[in-house]
Each structure stands twice: as structure tokens, then as C-alpha cells.
Amino acid sequence: MKTIADLGELRGQRVLLRSDLNVPLDGSTITDDGRIRASLPTIRELTEAGARVVVCAHLGRPKGAPEERYSLRPVAQRLGELLGQDVAFATDTVGESAKGVVADLQDGDVAVLENLRFNPGETSKDESERGAFADELAALADAYVSDGFGVVHRKQASVYDVATRLPAAVGGLVRTEVDVLRRLTSEPERPYAVVLGGAKVSDKLGVIDNLLGTADRLLVGGGMVFTFLAAQGHEVGTSLLEADQVDRVREYLERAERDGVEIVLPVDVVAATEFSAEADHEVVAADAIPADRMGLDIGPRSGELFASRLADCRTVFWNGPMGAFEMAPYAAGTKAVAQALVDVTATGALTVVGGGDSAAAVRQLGFEDADFGHISTGGGASLEYLEGKELPGLQVHETQEGTR
């Protein structure tokens, strides 16, 4: 894949930069600016080269039309604060505002376009509609750089189609993400453990299937664990359960035992009367969850168990919190796993936090990015890479190599 250096002289050139600025918002307040910070090195590389940087990104899931709650205006403001320079903001994506803002850029300036997904062409399955939007985006620039790893698994106008219309390269963030994920899939240093959490096991079936042939240990927590417990024949009360996946999970358990992959499940859970921080809750054995309670976190003995099974690992990938970490009574399990990764990182192991809720959780719980080997900006993209899927936003740069 071509890098920014392969694009040649950039001074005075308009560079369309696809970043991942899909940050969580509380109203107009950004609650975690990790993805904005992750975008800074590539933006600075371009501005220092004298490029006129046109940043495009999405936020949330608007339905192809403007919605104020999904505006990138607060993101542009925060980006300017972090860069220490003014950042212009276009109130549309490819309209008169965008054209005017881009025309006014000087060498080293930065502008942010409004949310790409306000235009239906960005995510359209119709190639002609998507292509037409890509043409309009490409008309704003002289070159294109892909640096939004969190969207490279999407075949979208700003991710895939624009790269076929302009001299294109990948930025430093995408290069780093791919390099790290290759280390997880190509002869990882062992023991290699994968920690999976989050709400639904169905979201991770593909990655579990692939990892059973790669990882030495698979540690399971979060809402998805109750489907595993049900597959073992245990009562899970009112916990989140995907009943239609029980047979599939049972097959995974049998396959893991046959292939010598250790699957580690919680031995205790924090069970509450309802999904609330104020609900009555208690620690119970994982195989004895009361019928009228729901599990909302792994328990303290499980946190110790998980930490012990990570302590000697040389490679760890973690995706998904261990419980409803946003509520204090159910955050301890996620914090225990995070601390276990910090400890093993200190021994020289490669630890990768797989984006999304996991990244938000470690920051919310007081950990620093530098405490881990790598915090990915792309939860879904990371998982699909580990599944062995071809990611359109990477594939297009591989196929374009040498064609211009």
C-alpha cells in the first residue's frame, strides 16, 4: 500500500483525508476524544508538508440527511484545540460551503467537512449513486489519504470509491493498525490469549470461529457469556441470552476441547434485579444465577481468574467490556481485565485493546493509552480483520498499487 511519502510533493496540494472522528457525544460535549487524538499525527504530517488538508468523516448513523445532533461542528472545534490552529468548518459536504471553504485554504491549513453520512451517496449500495458522490468529493482535492481505520471494512464512497479516482495512499494510523493486527494473525508470540466481551455473541461468531484455530486461550465475559453458560446447561435468569445461538456456542465449546484451546468462563457474576445502578445486586456463582436476576458483570473471583490466565501471555487481544462498566457497581470486572493487560504489557507482551467500547472503558476507568501496547480505533474493522475477511478500504489500496 502506498504511503503519504509516495504521493510526492504536497505543498499547495489539496488532500482529502478520510479520518475516523466518530466520537461519543453527550449533547454537543465530546465524552472521549481518543479518535480525534489518534488522527493528529497524520494531519500534522500533511500540514507540515504544506498540504491543504480537507478532513472528511462521519458521526453516528444519520439516515442520509442532515441531523443537528450528528453535526461534526464540535469535533472540528476540538480538532482545532488539539492541533493548536484554526480549523475551518464547512456546513455541508460537497455543496457551496464545502467548495468555498476548500477554495480559501492556504498551505498548511485544515478544514473539516460536515458529516459524510448526511449525503445518501456515502453509504449507498447502488454503485452509481455512491460513485456520483465520490466524484463530488474527489473534485475537492488533488490527492486522497485513507486514515480512518474504523471504517475500512465498509465499501463506502469516502472509503473505497474516492481511492479509485485520485492519487491515493494510506496514513500512519491505518499503517500502524494493520501492522499490529498482522502480528496477531501471523505467528503471534505465545501464549496468545483473546478476551471477548460485549453484549452479543452473534456479533463475534466469525472471530470466535477463526480464533479457535489461532489462539491458545479464549476468555469470555460481558453479556455474551450467558449464551456460553446456557450452552453448558446453566440457569442464566433474566440475563441477556441469544437462545438461537446456544447450539452454535455448544459446538464451539466442544471444538475447543477437541483442539486444545482453553476457554475460560466466569466462575461468579454480579447479578442484579434490573439493569440499573440503583438495583439490588449481589455476587453469585456463575452456575447459580437466580431466575429473577440478570448478570451485569463478571464477579471478583472471575476477575482474579482472568488475570491469572493472562499473566504469562506474550500476546493478548481484548475486544468488549466484561460488564455494564458505565455503571459503577458493574465496572470492576472490566477494570480487573484492563489492569491485567497493563501488568502483562509491563513484561514486554503485545497487548491490543480492540477499539469501540473497550477503548472507551479503559479511558473512563482511569487508564492511559500508553498503559497498553496498542489501542485500536476500529472495533468492527479489527474484528473483521481477525475473522480473515477482506476489508474494502484496504483492498482498494492494494489493487491500486502500481496502476497509476
276 annotated as a binding-site residue: no
Catalytic member of 223, 299, 320, 356 = 356
Is 35 annotated as a binding-site member?
yes
60 labeled binding residue: yes
Query: CB atoms < 10 A from the CB of 142, how many?
Result: 17
> Are 72 and 79 in contact, with CB atoms under 8 Å apart?
no
- Is 190 a known active-site residue? no
Q: Around Cβ 4, how many Cβ atoms within 10 Å?
A: 22
Options 200, 250, 255, 301, the catalytic residue: 200
Residue 237 appears among annotated catalytic residues? no
Measured in degrees and rounded to the nearest 5, phi and psi for residue 282 equal -155, 160
Distance between CA atoms of residues 131 and 92, nearest Å: 18
CA nearest to 249, candidates 232, 235, 265, 262: 232
Contacts of 215 (CB under 8 A, 6+ apart): 192, 193, 194, 261
58 annotated as a binding-site residue: yes
Q: Is 404 annotated as a binding residue?
A: no
The reply to whether 323 sits in an annotated binding site is: no
| 223 labelled ligand-binding | no
Respond yes or no: is residue 78 known to be catalytic. Answer: no
Is 335 one of the annotated binding-site residues?
A: no
* Helix extents (H) in 156-264: 172-185, 205-211, 225-231, 246-259
Which member of 73, 314, 380, 389 is catalytic?
380
Rounded distance, CA 171 to CA 55, Å? 13
* Terminal Cα distance for the chain, rounded: 13
**Residue 20 annotated as binding?**
yes
**146 among annotated binding-site residues:** no
Q: Which residue do the cell numbers 501496547 mark?
A: 373
- Minimal CA–CA distance to 401: which of 164, 175, 180, 135? 164
Contact 203, 387 (CB under 8 A): no
166 is in an annotated binding site: no
358 is in an annotated binding site: yes
295 is in an annotated binding site: yes
Of the candidates 18, 35, 309, 363, the residue annotated as catalytic is: 35
Asked whether residue 61 is marked as a ligand-binding residue, the answer is yes
C-alpha cell at 283: 455476587
Active site positions, annotated:
35, 200, 356, 380
Q: Which residues are annotated as a binding site for ATP?
A: 204, 295, 326, 355-358
Q: Which residues are annotated as part of the binding site for substrate?
A: 20-22, 35, 58-61, 117, 154
Residue numbers in the known binding site are 20-22, 35, 58-61, 117, 154, 204, 295, 326, 355-358
Residue ranges for the binding site for (2R)-3-phosphoglycerate? 35, 117, 154
